[in-house]
C-alpha cells in the first residue's frame, strides 16, 4: 500500500473513489452513475447483485441459499491503466465493478478490512473477484491479464475485490476512502 500512515488499527491513505456504477440487469458491464447508495446487508441499491443471498448467476445455479459475499465489487483504476498499457481500453464499470478506486492497493488488503467510502458507507472486504470467461467475450484475450500465474504457478487474480455492506450511505466520485485494517494476524484474500 502506498502513502500509508497507521493510527492504531486505522490506515489513512490518499485514496479516492473515481467512479461508481450499477446495473439493474444481468449484463457484463455497469454504466457509471453520478452516485450510488449502499444498503446495509444488501449491496448497491438498484443493482442486480443486491441481496442477502447470492445473486451472481453461477452462484445461484450452484446453491441459491449461499450468503451474498459479493454485494459490492471494487476495482482499482490502476488496473485500468495497466490494461490500457497492454492495448485494452477499459473504462470504469466496464468489467462489472460498482466502485472504482485510485490510490489504494485493493488486492493487497487482508480479508476483513473495512473501507469507509465517503461520509457514511462502510464495506467489509470478503475476498477476490474470480474473473470469468465472459471477460474474453467483452474483449478477446483480456482474461489472461485479469488472471494469470505467478512464478510458483499460483493463480493471481487482478480483477478487483468483493465486499459486503456494513453501513449504508451514498457514494460519489471524489469521495475519500478510509481504511481500517483488521486485527492481526491478517488473512490474505481468496476468491469468493
pLDDT, tens digit, 9 for 90 and up, residues 1-19: 444 333 334 444 489 999 9
> pLDDT of 142-164, one tens digit each?
999 999 888 999 999 999 999 99
Give me the helices (H) in 5-67, please.
57-62
Q: What are phi and psi of 31, to 5 degrees?
A: -70, 145
Domains of the chain: 5-180 (2.40.33.20)
Q: What is the distance between the alpha carbons of residues 167 and 183, in angstroms, rounded to a whole number?
A: 20
Q: CB 102: neighbour CB atoms within 10 A?
A: 16
Examine the pLDDT at 39 and tell me if it is beyond 80: yes
Q: Which residue has the cell 485510485?
A: 102
Amino acid at each position: 500500500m502506498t502513502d500509508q500512515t497507521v493510527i492504531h488499527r486505522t490506515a489513512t491513505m490518499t485514496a479516492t473513489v473515481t467512479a461508481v456504477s450499477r446495473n439493474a440487469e444481468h449484463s457484463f458491464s455497469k454504466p457509471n452513475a453520478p452516485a450510488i447508495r449502499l444498503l446495509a446487508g444488501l449491496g448497491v441499491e438498484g443493482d442486480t447483485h443486491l441481496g442477502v443471498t447470492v445473486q451472481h448467476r453461477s452462484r445461484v445455479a450452484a446453491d441459491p441459499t449461499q450468503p451474498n459475499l459479493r454485494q459490492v465489487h471494487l476495482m482499482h483504476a490502476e488496473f485500468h491503466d495497466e490494461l490500457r498499457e497492454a492495448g485494452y481500453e477499459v473504462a470504469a464499470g466496464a468489467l462489472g465493478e460498482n466502485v472504482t478506486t485510485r490510490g489504494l492497493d485493493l488486492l493487497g488488503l487482508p480479508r476483513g478490512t473495512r473501507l469507509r467510502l465517503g461520509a457514511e458507507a462502510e464495506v467489509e472486504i470478503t475476498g477476490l473477484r474470480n474473473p470469468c470467461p465472459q471477460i474474453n467475450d467483452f474483449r478477446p484475450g483480456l482474461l489472461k491479464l485479469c488472471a494469470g500465474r505467478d512464478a510458483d504457478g499460483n493463480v493471481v487474480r487482478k480483477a478487483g475485490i468483493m465486499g459486503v455492506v456494513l453501513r449504508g450511505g451514498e457514494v460519489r466520485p471524489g469521495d475519500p476512502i478510509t481504511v481500517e485494517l483488521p486485527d492481526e494476524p491478517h488473512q490474505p484474500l481468496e476468491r469468493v
